[in-house]
A and B are shown apart, each in its own frame.
Chain A
Amino acid sequence: MSKKNQIALLSGIVIALAFLSRWTVGHQGFFQGALIIASLLGILPIAIQAYQALRVKVVSIDVLVTIAVLGAFVIQNFEESAIVTFLFLFGAYLEQRTLNKTRSAIKELVEMAPETALKQMDDGEFVEVDVDEVEVGDLLLVKTGAKVPVDGTVLSGEGSVNEASITGESIPVAKEQGSTVFAGTILDNGTLQIVAERVGEDTTFGRIIELVEEAQDSKSEAERFIDRFSKYYTPAVLVIGFLVWLISRDLELAITILVLGCPGALVIGVPVSNVAGIGNGARHGILLKGSEVIGDFSRVDTIVFDKTGTLTMGNPSVAEAEYYGDDLGQARSYLASIERESDHPLAKAVLEYLGETTFYPVEGTEVVKGEGIVALVDGRRVAVGNAALMEREQVAFSPQNRADLERLEREGNSLVLTSVDGELKILLGVRDQIRPGVKDDLARLKRLGVKNLVMLSGDNQGTVDLVSRELGLTEAHGNMLPEDKSAYITKLMEQGKIVAFVGDGVNDSPSLALAQIGIAMGGGTDVAIETSDVVLMNSQFSRLPHALGLAKATARNMKQNIIIAVGVVLVLLAGVLLSEWVNMSIGMLVHEGSILVVILNGMRLLSFKLRS
């Protein structure tokens, strides 16, 4: 490759000297001589490539160019032959440079793969080994600044890890004994000893890389058509050129057609948009699995969401709190002391909400089934539970209390009441809360042209309606089993809608696989990554509008590139047939130029950002 570039440079210099001498000295002999040298230099590498192609029975562009240049020699037009070979070589150099740019995003991702690991040997010492030599069960040491080499569990030590390579989000995550760590993430500070659980290509990062690598080269039906087409296209151009020469006896016209016929921008245009679009996604924690997916996704008009874990956080938390009377710090401590000993699902949410507080010893605990707990704390009778328990404890409700109770229930909360010595102190509303920002994200999706936003959930219709109203969804259905969900998606598709399903892959993988576009909110769960078409790493719902915008931009970019490529060929053909201005050099210039234009156009996708 580098030799080819040197030849291009040399031939360029000789051509420049030739023209310089013509304009200054005006020596025709030197001018011609220099151009002959430049032509010979330039044609050499192209002819070698043509020969190599012909040996495996492929009529490549090199073959067309070589024949065209030989033709130019025959009619002794050395100016054309020199410029055409130079442009062809120089164009190839520029293409390589710019192509490397469009591929850079994915390359950066691949290069984040860990290469070495500090592995504990039989003598207990840690030794640096190649990451391929690490096996499941090995004990590894990760030092500050190093990459985590495998997926595993922290055995000892603590530190904070940058998981940007997996999630696209460079917020440090704290790790301690028992935490899970992922290959390819970077230990910002601290030291960890970890046990390898998945190594090499089996790690989450390994699979992501493999999927992205496959995605960037996956082809749509249209591309496969272009590929088949171009296989016959080049030989056809050769035949046409020959026929033109036979009929018109005009060699100049015939070789001009050979150069004009070079397919370039058409074949390269779509893959370039594809790789740049997927690269942008990879940088933002979005995995788009190939150009087919991008095409379908860009036309989506209906998005179906699973409720729990997708639109909501997936685990209950305290949404509202009301306090009555005084001594409230005390009451909070009593509540925390009782909940600390409970394994009720709501207890965890309550404790998380209360945070740091003083704990008291709890005595005489009495569990009332379906209602709550009564116990003696700090010598006072404390009851924690629902309204029925309060009644049993003969707690008197004020009108204000009743109004609050009704309101919280209406909003879909489960209620946790706390009374101290028969007096209501705290009223908590616990529910599965909507993810922060989801409302704005859904509005963005609508602005991007999604007509129907549908929520399907296993919860009761009341809860579902509440969430739906708050988020401004177009449809919401409750009481749905997983099979009901997939049946509903089938129904939507039968109505001719293009459906995307967004789920976490835990119990909705049939729906993920069924919808035209399955979008997994994957915190790295295997099933979700495999069965879906689009993966939002680390369950980042906020990535969804960017993903859709990106798919649309990429699909648009591909179309632009096809139009540029076909348009250029048509203009050149018209030029050659209808006017005098197109010759071989101009043909090559426009041809190489159009290739660069489609690459540069594709490159724009690397910096794509959703306007909010």
Chain B
Amino acid sequence: MKSATIQLETLACPSCMQKIEAAVKAVKGVNAPSVKVLFNSSKVKLDFDEQQVSIEDIENAITKVGYEVQKSKVK
């Protein structure tokens, strides 16, 4: 299990949080209860299993619902 912090473009609408949260939780290998979308700092924090899924896949899921990923940090 690794934890990631993904910096997004500035989030302005509160309903985008729901979208991003749902999109990230739907990715296989992501620990769903760990997903947190931070509105004011425009970040997503989550834990994921690096055997099942890569950080790029998670980034793609976010891009697909229409939000730009600026950078990710994995620890």
Mark A residues whose CB is within 8 Å of B: 1, 48-49, 52-53, 55-58, 60-62, 92, 95-96, 99-100, 103, 106, 213, 216-217, 230-231, 234, 263-264, 267-268, 271, 274-275
Contacts and interface: CB of A to CB of B under 8 A. Distances in A.
Contacts of B15: 53, 58, 60-62, 230, 234, 263, 267
A231 B18 contact: yes
B40 A106 contact: yes
A217 B40 contact: yes
Given A99-B10, A217-B40, A271-B40, A52 B66 contact: yes
B66 A49 contact: yes
A146 to B, nearest CB: 24
A1 B16 CA distance: 13
Contact of A95 (B13, B18, B64): B13
Given A52-B64, A58-B22, A60-B15, A100 B10 contact: yes
Nearest to A56: B22
7 contacts: A61-B13, A92-B12, A216-B40, A217-B38, A268-B14, A271-B40, A275-B40
B17 to A, nearest CB: 8
Nearest to A216: B40
Interface in B2-23: 9-10, 12-16, 18-19, 22-23
Nearest to A52: B65
Given A53-B15, A56-B22, A92-B13, 4 more contacts: A52-B66, A263-B15, A271-B39, A271-B40
B54 interface: no
Nearest to B18: A58
A564 to B, nearest CB: 15
Given A95-B13, A96-B10, A96-B12, A57 B40 contact: no
Interface of B: 9-10, 12-16, 18-19, 22-23, 26, 38-41, 43, 64-66, 68
Contacts of B64: 52, 55
A58 B19 CA distance: 6
B69 to A, nearest CB: 13
B66 A217 contact: no
Given A58-B18, A267-B14, A216 B23 contact: no
A217 B13 contact: no
Contact of A217 (B14, B22, B41, B65): B41
Nearest to A265: B14
Contacts of A213: 38, 41, 43
A216 to B, nearest CB: 4
A217 B39 contact: yes
* Those 8 A-B pairs whose CB atoms lie nearest each other, nearest first: A267-B14, A96-B12, A217-B38, A56-B22, A216-B40, A60-B15, A275-B40, A52-B65
A95 B12 contact: yes
- A interface majority secondary structure: helix
A262 B43 CA distance: 24
A274 B66 contact: no
B14 to A, nearest CB: 4
A3 to B, nearest CB: 11
A61 B68 CA distance: 20
Interface centre among B9, B40, B41, B68 (most CB of A within 10 A): B40
Contacts of B10: 96, 99-100, 103
B3 to A, nearest CB: 13
Contacts of B38: 213, 216-217
A134 to B, nearest CB: 17
Contacts of B68: 1
Contact of A56 (B13, B14, B43, B65): B65
A446 to B, nearest CB: 33
Given A48-B66, A53-B65, A56-B22, A103 B12 contact: no
Contacts of B26: 56
Contacts of B16: 60
Contacts of A267: 14-15
B9 A60 contact: no
Contacts of B18: 53, 58, 60, 230-231
A264 B12 CA distance: 11
Nearest to B23: A56
B41 A56 contact: no
Contacts of B19: 52-53, 56, 58, 60
Contacts of A263: 14-15
A239 B34 CA distance: 31
Contacts of B65: 52-53, 55-56
Nearest to B68: A1
Contacts of A49: 66
A280 B7 CA distance: 23
A49 B18 CA distance: 13
Contacts of B66: 48-49, 52
Contacts of A103: 10, 40
A217 B21 CA distance: 15
Interface centre among A56, A230, A274 (most CB of B within 10 A): A56
Contacts of B23: 56
A263 B18 CA distance: 13
B70 to A, nearest CB: 12
A1 B40 CA distance: 17
Contacts of A100: 10
A99 B16 CA distance: 14
B37 to A, nearest CB: 9
Contacts of A106: 40-41
A421 B41 CA distance: 72
